[in-house]
Structure 1
Amino acid sequence: MLINLSDVLSEQHKTIEKDVAVDMTVFEAPFGRYEIVSKNLVHIVVEHVKDSELMIRGLTDLVIAVPCDRCLEEVDKAFHFDFAKNVDLNPELVDTQKEFDEKNYIDGYNLDVDKLLYNEILIGWPMKVLCSENCKGICSICGQNLNKGTCDCEDTGLDPRMSVIQDVFKNFKEV
């Protein structure tokens, strides 16, 4: 969804306040493709600060289906976004860009809400997603989800550097 910023940048500097629908149905990133299960409207407020500087605020909630890092079962991960972006639309101010946020979601006088939300999802993406804290994962041999049942595979998960100690225990089982 695009929002025209010309009213904010005109001489009257009208503040834009809108509830905008999210067009994204899938979050596609270099690390995977994830379905957006539910989404709310994005409440966007764009205010003029000075010259070509804008303050963009947004508020929304999303739920994305993400696989558990241990067992690969789908987990509905809730994201809450409440952000404020300070951007300068003047391309000549390269020195002061450090104090401003990246603005790849602004093209000319249009604000792309989906690109802005995409960036926020990337920033807020969790390092690890688990279906539960005590998730057992999957068997490394047969792929059985160990949360749903056990398998008959031999446990070869021991560190190969410990094989000498394992041999000692095999030789002296009666001890």
Structure 2
Amino acid sequence: MLINLSDVLSEQHKTVEETVPLNLESMDLKSGSYPIVSKEPVHVVVSHVKDKELQIKAESKVCVIIPCDRCLEDVKQEIVLDFTKHVDLNIPDADLPEGLDESNFIDGYHLDVDKLLFNEILIGWPTKVLCREDCKGICNVCGQNLNLGTCNCEDTGLDPRMSVVRDLFKNFKEV
């Protein structure tokens, strides 16, 4: 969705305040495609600071399905977006001083809301997603989801230096 910034960048410097729908259907990243199952309209306020400097405030909420990092079950992850950007259209993104944000989501007199929110969703992307706190993961031999049941595979992930201790327990089960 594009928002026209002509009013903000003109001589009157009118503030633009709009609530627009988010058109993103999924987050397509190198690691995979993650569907967006629910999203709220985006409330955007663009105001003039000075010259070609703008302040952009946006609020929204999205719910993305991300696989659990341990068992790969789908998890609904809610990402709340509430941010303020300070951009200067006279300065290229490569030469930005501290305190200014990139403006790659503004093309001419149009603000690309989907591109703006895509970047912010990436910033808010969780580093670790678990279906539950005590998730047991999957068996690294057969792939069984250990939350749903156990498997009969021998655990080969044990430290080989502990094989003597493991053999003691196998030979003397009453110990």
| TM-score of the alignment, normalized to the shorter chain, above 0.5 | yes
Correspondence list, 1:12-51, <5 A: 12-51=12-51
Q: Does 1:75 align with 2:75?
A: yes
Where structure 1 has 5 or more consecutive residues not aligned to the other structure, the ranges are none
Query: 1:97 is paired with a residue of what secondary structure?
Result: coil
Mean Cα displacement is larger for which, 158-167 or 5-14?
158-167
TM-score, length-normalised on structure 1?
Answer: 0.92
Q: CA RMSD in A?
A: 1.9
- The amino acid across from 1:30 in the alignment is K
Q: Residue 92 of structure 1: CA displacement? A: 6.4
Letter in 2 for 1:124: G
Aligned residues with identical type, % of pairs: 63
SS at match of 1:62: strand
Scaled by the length of structure 2, the TM-score of the pair is: 0.92
Deviation, 1:174, is: 7.0
**Which is further off, 110-119 or 96-105?**
96-105
- The 2-side partners of 1:34 and 1:8 are apart by 35
Q: Which amino acid aligns with 2:11?
A: E
Q: Secondary structure at the match of 1:43?
A: strand
Distance (whole Å) between structure 2 residues aligned to residue 39 and residue 46 of structure 1: 21
Aligned to 1:110: 110
Q: Can you give the 5+ residue segments of structure 2 that lack an aligned partner in the other structure?
A: none
Structure 1 counterpart of 2:138: 138
Name the residue aligned to 1:163.
Answer: 163
**Matched residues in 2 for 1:149 and 1:174: separation?**
26
- How far apart, CA to CA, are the structure 1 residues paired with 2:26 and 2:73? 18
Please give the alpha-carbon distance, in whole angstroms, between the structure 2 residues aligned to 1:25 and 1:95.
Answer: 33
SS for the counterpart of 1:8 is helix
Aligned-residue offset at 1:10 = 0.3
Cα distance change, pair 77–93 in 1 and its aligned pair in 2 (3 A): closer
CA displacement at 1:97 relative to structure 2: 2.9
Residue-by-residue CA offset, 1:113-162 (whole Å, 9 max, x unaligned): 00100100110111100000011111111111111111121222211232
